[in-house]
Amino acid sequence: METMIEVKDVSMRFRMANDRISSIKEYAIARLRGKLKYNEFEALKHVSFDVKRGEVMGLIGHNGAGKSTLLKVISGILKPTEGSVIVRGNVAPMLELGSGFDFDMTGRENIFLNGAILGYSEEFLKSKYDEIVAFSEIGPFIDMPLRNYSSGMVARLAFSVATVVVPEVLIVDEVLAVGDAEFQEKSRRRMMELMSGGTTVLFVSHDIEQIREMCSRVVWLENGMVRKAGASDEICHLYKENN
């Protein structure tokens, strides 16, 4: 089977200056005093795994284990210090909803702005526009500036834009369930639909039951390293025992 995501020996190191230097003066003084020391923080250490086409891969681990960093590396937002990541096909990273929303612009303008930022083409957005508006249940508010929306409405709009696309590779940081109880149920269904429709999914969650239910394989990250990877049931069981 075709490999969609290939993570090869990825290490991510952050240099943390002993005091975050953000002015030329501070930099010059620290340099002159020879105090320009960096503490290295290794967020990911030699992580390797791959995800095959159509597979739903779960990513579990404690806070600070490196899950979000790994997602950012795979999405191309961070460049790994070492190693390489190859992603085939078009990717829809859903790390945040409503990226680039401008609260002074109308809902309609924001659909196009946010859609463009997510990498949709103009034709695609035009053809899906009605669907997005219908799903978001915004109704006549669509031509009002976002600043007049309730936070639930903003979240619904953001969710509707983000999930209108059926990508080849979907990267999800926590299942996004937004709005009131009814819409939460609707958005959960949409996510499940997206994730079960033959799409390759890389999925981070703290809800271990959800992971077990959804994923075929699971990678368990701990302190930036792959603690264990394998079939979903086995890893989830181990993970639960260790906590």
Residue placing its CB nearer to another protein in the complex, 28 or 231: 28
Which class for 189: exposed (0-12), middle (13-18), buried (19 or more C-beta within 10 A)?
A: exposed
DSSP-derived secondary structure letter, 112: H
- Using CB under 8 A as the binding rule, whether residue 86 contacts another protein is answered as no
- Find the part of the chain contacting another protein (CB under 8 A) among 23-31, 48-56, 57-65, 183-191: 23-31
Residues 4 and 241: their CA atoms lie apart, in Å, by: 31
Q: Is 22 in the site for another protein (CB under 8 A)?
A: yes
Q: Shortest gap between Cβ of 138 and another protein (angstroms)?
A: 19
8 by DSSP, 3-state: which? strand
Nearest distance, CB of residue 180 and another protein, angstroms: 25
Choose one: 103-111, 133-141, 148-156, 223-231; the region binding another protein (CB under 8 A): 103-111
Using CB under 8 A as the binding rule, whether residue 93 contacts another protein is answered as: yes
- H/E stretch holding 235 reads helix 232-241
The span from the CA of 60 to the CA of 65, in Å, is: 9
Choose among 165, 160, 196, 153: nearest CA to 176.
160
Nearer to another protein, 35 or 79 (CB): 79
Q: Name the site residues for another protein (rule: CB under 8 A).
A: 14-15, 22-25, 27, 72, 75-79, 93, 95-96, 99-100, 102, 104-105, 109, 112-113, 116-119, 121-122
